[in-house]
């Protein structure tokens, strides 16, 4: 009986460590799904976007979407391991970005919608990212 209990405890410990490791690995890559919504330049009629982050990670690299900025405010390419800030920390009306990138919504549409148009025009429909409730 002690042997069975010992084996069960050891198995539980190993499985627990495996699942803990898996959850840490997922945290390093960000959440599997994200709801994108502006908190700075709120739209009159907000339309949050459902973003399947994990699904995009299967096909793209972090640098395909993420970037940073230098001291002059110029875009700098993503560097592996860099801290990823919220897009709207730079893409907001007060930041002085060009019009087509001046809000989080504008930047997302420029990046996401254009990529969707190139890969599959059906993915560029509004309801793909903004599903009706």
Report the CATH number at residue 41: 3.90.10.10
pLDDT at 73: 84
pLDDT at 88: 93
Determine whether the annotation assigns residue 18 to a binding site.
Answer: no
Same domain, residue pair 57 and 121: yes
pLDDT at 27: 53
Same domain, residue pair 86 and 25: no
pLDDT at 46: 81
- Give the pLDDT confidence of 57-84 residue by residue, as tens digits: 999 999 999 999 898 888 999 999 899 9
Same domain, residue pair 25 and 90: no
Determine whether the annotation assigns residue 115 to a binding site.
Answer: yes
pLDDT at 28: 65
Determine whether the annotation assigns residue 65 to a binding site.
Answer: yes
Q: Could you tell me whether strands 34-36 and 49-51 are parallel, antiparallel, or unpaired per DSSP bridges? A: antiparallel
Determine whether the annotation assigns residue 129 to a binding site.
Answer: yes
Residue with tokens 């499985």: 15
The tokens describing 8, both together, are 């069960």
Same domain, residue pair 57 and 81: yes
Range of the domain at 4: 1-30
- Residue ranges in the chain modelled with pLDDT below 50: 4-26
What's the domain count of the chain?
2
Give dist(CA 58, CA 53) in Å, integer: 9
Same domain, residue pair 112 and 71: yes
Same domain, residue pair 10 and 41: no
Determine whether the annotation assigns residue 109 to a binding site.
Answer: no
Give strand pairing partners of 76: 68
pLDDT at 22: 36
Determine whether the annotation assigns residue 56 to a binding site.
Answer: yes
Determine whether the annotation assigns residue 91 to a binding site.
Answer: no
Same domain, residue pair 61 and 14: no
Same domain, residue pair 21 and 68: no
């Amino acid at each position: 009986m002690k042997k069975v209990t010992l084996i069960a405890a050891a198995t539980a410990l190993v499985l627990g460590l495996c699942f803990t490791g898996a959850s840490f690995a997922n945290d390093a890559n960000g959440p599997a799904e994200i709801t994108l919504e502006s908190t700075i330049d709120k739209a009159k009629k907000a339309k949050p976007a459902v973003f399947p982050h994990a699904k995009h990670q299967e096909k793209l690299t972090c640098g395909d979407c993420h970037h940073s900025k230098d001291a002059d405010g110029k875009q700098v390419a993503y560097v592996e391991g860099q801290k990823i800030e919220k897009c709207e920390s730079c893409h907001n009306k007060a930041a002085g970005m060009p019009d087509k990138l001046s809000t989080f919504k504008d930047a997302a549409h420029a990046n996401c919608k254009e990529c969707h148009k190139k890969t599959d025009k059906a993915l560029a429909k509004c309801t793909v990212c903004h599903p009706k409730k």
